[in-house]
Amino acid sequence: RVVFMAIGFETTAPSTAMTVLRAAAEGLRNFSIFCNHVTIVPAIKAILDSPDLRLDGFIGPGHVSTVIGCRPYEFIARDYGKPVVTAGFEPLDILQSIYMLMLQLSRGESIVENQYSRVVPWDGNPVALKAIGETMELRPYFEWRGLGFISHSALKVREKYAAFDAELLFSVPGVRVADPTACQCGEVLKGVLKPWECKVFGTACTPETPIGTCMVSPEGACAAYYNYGRLTRTRVKEASRS
């Protein structure tokens, strides 16, 4: 029997959903998925609701936004007064997005802008969203590394497609894995700490031996600082000694 470990944000959920639909159409009986897809908006809201939040704005995730669009981020600007700019991945995309955020902040504005409009439609990809909605539904809650339990922040297989739900077929128990005590990814995500201010950054925690989620992925803040931010980190350390 084949079990597919389905992970990732809305970016990867459509391919999982399409696979389930195809498996159902072909009547497969030896295939299932262990659905651990997560959703971006509840995670952002959990960060925004943190009492020690120190973020001034958000660069919206390009890949996720190709699926869900920019409209789901409107609550960030409307309810929390934080500007959002959905960005592409090229260096110039990032620079332009930061510039657009700085313009909003300098003007006292908080709106959602789409820098990555060449790829991201405002209302997302309807085909992808339909496939996700057909095969998956929100879990009541899900545990995140560094952020704890967040309501309605992950997806599970709908009952209609229970024949492809490995969690049910194999009675997979809920297993909790505690965050390493030295890990401070939650503080990094909320802007309380810079990555290099974490007590294990660059020593016990590196891309080769990651402890926290911010270092595991090459897209994580800690991994980016480790690979590209050494000059800034050195200057700050030197300033703190003087």
Proportion of the chain above pLDDT 90, given as a percent: 77
C-alpha to C-alpha distance for 11 and 70, rounded to whole angstroms: 14
Residue 232 pLDDT class (50, 70, 90 cuts): low
Whether the domain at 2-38+125-169 and the domain at 45-114 fall into the same CATH topology: yes
Backbone angles phi, psi at 182, to 5 degrees: -80, -15
- pLDDT number for residue 173: 82
Q: Where are the domains of the chain?
A: 2-38+125-169, 45-114, 185-241
- pLDDT number for residue 241: 65
Residue 174 pLDDT class (50, 70, 90 cuts): confident
Task: Return the closest-CA partner of residue 129 out of 8, 14, 30.
Answer: 14
Amino acid at 68: I
First-to-last alpha carbon distance for the chain, in angstroms, is 62
- pLDDT number for residue 237: 61
Backbone angles phi, psi at 140, to 5 degrees: -60, -40
The CATH classification number of 45-114 equals 3.40.50.11750
Q: Are strands 136-138 and 155-157 parallel, antiparallel or unpaired?
A: antiparallel
Do the beta carbons of residue 39 and residue 140 sit within 8 Å? no
> For all residues of the chain together, what is the average pLDDT?
92
Residue 123: strand, helix, or coil? coil
Task: Return the closest-CA partner of residue 1 out of 156, 164, 158, 160.
Answer: 164
Task: Return the closest-CA partner of residue 214 out of 192, 237, 183.
Answer: 183
The strand ranges marked E within 53-118 are 58-60, 84-86, 112-114
User: Which stretch of 118-127, 147-156, 190-199 has the lowest confidence by average pLDDT?
Assistant: 190-199
User: Domain 2-38+125-169, what fold?
Assistant: Rossmann fold (3.40.50)
Mean pLDDT within 2-20: 97
Angle (deg, nearest 10), helices 221-228 and 230-241: 80
Asked if the model's pLDDT at residue 36 lies above 70, the reply is yes
35: how many CB neighbours lie within 10 A of its CB? 26
Asked if the model's pLDDT at residue 2 lies above 90, the reply is yes
224: how many CB neighbours lie within 10 A of its CB? 15
- pLDDT number for residue 31: 98
* DSSP assignments along 136-185, one per residue: EEE-SEEEETTTEEEET-BEEE-GGGGGGBHHHHTTPPP---PPPTT--H
pTM, entire model = 0.86
Task: Return the closest-CA partner of residue 72 out of 156, 143, 10, 30.
Answer: 10
Mean pLDDT within 33-42: 97
Amino acid at 139: R
Mean pLDDT within 25-54: 95
Residue 233 pLDDT class (50, 70, 90 cuts): low
Q: What are the pLDDT digits (tens) for 88-130?
A: 999 999 999 999 999 999 999 999 999 999 999 999 999 999 9
Mean pLDDT within 144-169: 94
- pLDDT number for residue 145: 81
